[in-house]
Amino acid sequence: MTGAATIPCWPDPVETWEPPLGREALEDVLSKIRRWQPFDGDALLDDVGAVLDDVVPPEERLEELGQRLRRHLMQLVGIAVAAEADQEDAQAERLLRRARQVRSEDMPSDHWQAVGHLRRMAWSVNELLERLVAIQCLKEPAAST
């Protein structure tokens, strides 16, 4: 068989594809995807450990640890809400309320009050993580050695 191959034509008319969202909505989705950070259980455990350790974190790290714990709480709350854990489990609902409450509090300016606030946040992160693992919304992150 010799000669050029022919490409068959589609005999039926095809509708022009239209994206499901408009330009602004697609740009908004793209922006959210670019800001998205995957759940990092190891980082969560490291941050909780740094705050709940017997050694008090130095004052210059308190703000950074507070931001990281807030981010962990936001991720865990988002995971729990998406899985409807608050509707399925009374303990998860209670932990979500507490997580939202502690996350919304401002960091105290006094060093020891700030440490206390961070420890409350760390406990909220830890307990919510444990509950989400127990009700199978998340897999348990491996503890760092």
What are the DSSP calls for 45-85, one per residue?
Answer: HHHHHHHHSSSPPPHHHHHHHHHHHHHHHHHHHHHHHHTTH
What integer pLDDT is reported at residue 1 of this predicted model? 52
What integer pLDDT is reported at residue 15 of this predicted model? 85
pTM comes to: 0.75
Low-confidence residues of the chain: pLDDT under 50: 144-145
How many Å apart are CA 142 and CA 42, to the nearest integer?
A: 7
Neighbours of 45 (CB within 10 A): 19
User: Kind and range of the H or E element at 14?
Assistant: none
What integer pLDDT is reported at residue 4 of this predicted model? 63
What integer pLDDT is reported at residue 145 of this predicted model? 43
What integer pLDDT is reported at residue 8 of this predicted model? 73
What integer pLDDT is reported at residue 17 of this predicted model? 83
